[in-house]
Amino acid sequence: MKKQILIIIIAALLIKLFYFGFAIVVYQYSDNRGFKPDYEGFISTLKKNDAYWYTKIAINGYPKIENKDDLGYHDGKDFKQSVWAFFPAYPLTVRLFSKIPGIDLNIAFLLVSVLSSVLGFIAFYLFLKVYLNDKEKALFYTIVLMTLPFHFYFSMFYTEALFFFMMISSFLAVFKKKYLIMSLVLIPLTLIRPNGIILIMPLYLFMLENENLLKKYKFDWKGIFNKRNINHSLYFLTGPVVFVIYGFYQQYMTNEFFAFSIAQQGWYRDFMFPLLSFFRQGDPAIQFNSVYTIFIILVAAFSWKKFPLSLNMLIWINLLLPLTSGSVMSMQRFIIVIFPITMIFGGWLYKSNYRYAAVTGLFLLQLATYYFWLTGHPISY
C-alpha cells in the first residue's frame, strides 16, 4: 500500500507542475505578454475568479449587514455581490495557515490546495481499496480522478479539494465504522459549501448499508430503531448542530438566518425546477455547460444499477441541487467532487487493454479545459 500512496503523491505533484508548464506555453503564444514564469506568475495561474472572494474573507472575515440588499441582488444589468455567498471553513483554514511564521496568504492558499488535494486523492484510494477490495483498481481509479477533464480545479485556490477530502474521508470513516472520526469530519464538511449539510443524508444511508440495515433499497426498520443504531445515528448530529450555529451567526450579522442563500442572487441565481436551468441563455458557455451537465446526467442515469441507494443519492443531490439555482454556471466544477462518477469512468477504462493510453488522452483533454481557466473564459467560472 505504501508504494501505491507514493505513486499517488508523485503523480499529483507532477500534474501540478504540468499545469504551470502548460500555462507558460499558453501565455507565451497569447496576448498575455506580461506573464512571467516566476512566483507571482505561478500564483496567478491558481488564483482567479472566486479565489478573490475567499481572499477577502481570509483577511477581513464577514461584514455586518444592515440592509438586506447589501447581501446581494440582481435587477437586469444592475447587481450586487457579497462575501456572504461563500461559506467560512475554506478561507478560515487558509487564514489559519497564514498565521504560521514566514508564510504569506498566497503561500497559505497554496499549502491548503496541495495538502487537501493530495490527501483527498489518498483518501479516495483508501476508500476504494476497501470498497472494491482491489488495490490495482483503486489506484487506477485514483489516477482517473486526477486526469478527468475539469479536474484541474482540485489544484486551484478553490474549495473543491478541501470539500472532496472531507467528503471522501467521512465515507471512509463510516465504512470502517469510525463514527467518532466521522462526526468530527462532518463539522468542516458542513461549513465548506452549502451542500455539505445535505450530504449527511447519503452518508447516513451508506452507514445503514454498511451495517446491513439497508439492502437493495429495502430497510430493516426493526434494526434501524434498535439501541445500537440509534447510538450510531447520534454521531451524525454534529453537522446539523454546526449548520444551525452558523445560521444563528448569519442571523446576528445580517438579520438573515440563510444569508448565504440570499447572497446567491448577486450571481443571478434564483430558485427553480432543476431542468429549467438548461439553455437559458444563448452564449457559448451556457450552451456548453448545459450539454456537459446533461451528458453527466445521462451517464449517471444509465449507471444507477452499479451503486447502492446511498451513492445514487449522492450523485443526484450533487447534480440537481446546484441546478435549482436556475444556472448551469460552474456545473463542471460541482461535478468533479461526485466520486461515483469517477468510479463509472474508471470502471469503463479499466476494462480496456489501452487503459493508460486512455488516461493520457484524458489528461490532454483536461489541459484543454484548463486553457479556458487560464484565459478567463466563462466556461471556467
Q: Are 381 and 52 in contact (CB under 8 A)?
A: no
Whether 34 has a pLDDT exceeding 70, the answer reads no
Strands (E), the chain: 73-75, 78-80, 214-215, 218-219
Q: What is the pLDDT of residues 90-126, one digit of tens each?
A: 999 999 999 988 889 999 999 999 999 999 999 999 9
What is the predicted pLDDT for the residue at 33?
58
What is the predicted pLDDT for the residue at 31?
65
Model confidence at 157, pLDDT cuts 50, 70, 90, reads: very high
Q: How far is CA 75 from CA 126, 234, 268, in A?
A: 48, 44, 9
Of the listed ranges 6-10, 65-69, 138-142, 176-180, the one predicted with least confidence: 65-69
What is the predicted pLDDT for the residue at 208?
96
Rounded mean pLDDT, 80-88: 93
Of the listed ranges 212-216, 311-315, 361-365, the one predicted with least confidence: 212-216
Q: Are 35 and 163 in contact (CB under 8 A)?
A: no
What is the predicted pLDDT for the residue at 280?
80
Whether 14 has a pLDDT exceeding 70, the answer reads yes
User: How far is 264 from 88, CA to CA, in rounded Å?
Assistant: 15
Q: How far is CA 273 from CA 2, 17, 154, 324, 364, in A?
A: 47, 41, 29, 6, 35
Model confidence at 277, pLDDT cuts 50, 70, 90, reads: confident
pTM for the predicted model, two decimal places: 0.94
Q: Are 198 and 264 in contact (CB under 8 A)?
A: no
pLDDT above 70 covers a percentage of the chain that reads 99
User: How far is 150 from 216, CA to CA, in rounded Å?
Assistant: 33
Average pLDDT taken over every residue of the chain: 92
What is the predicted pLDDT for the residue at 284?
87
φ/ψ region of 172 (left if φ > 0, alpha if ψ in -120 to 50, else beta) reads alpha
What is the predicted pLDDT for the residue at 217?
87
Per DSSP, what are the bridge partners of residue 219? 214
User: How far is 239 from 301, CA to CA, in rounded Å?
Assistant: 29
Three-state secondary structure of 246-277: HHHHHHHHHCCCCHHHHHHHHHCCCCCCHHHH
What DSSP string describes 121-149?
HHHHHHHHHHHTS-HHHHHHHHHHHHHST
Rounded mean pLDDT, 8-31: 88
The three-class DSSP label of residue 74 is: strand
Question: Grid coordinates in use for 76?
Answer: 437586469
**All residues at 6 or more sequence positions from 298 whose CB lies less than 8 Å from its CB, including other chains:** none
User: How far is 333 from 193, CA to CA, in rounded Å?
Assistant: 13
Rounded mean pLDDT, 233-262: 95
Whether 358 has a pLDDT exceeding 90, the answer reads yes
What is the predicted pLDDT for the residue at 267?
82
What is the predicted pLDDT for the residue at 279?
87
Whether 6 has a pLDDT exceeding 90, the answer reads yes
User: How far is 249 from 246, CA to CA, in rounded Å?
Assistant: 5
Whether 213 has a pLDDT exceeding 80, the answer reads yes
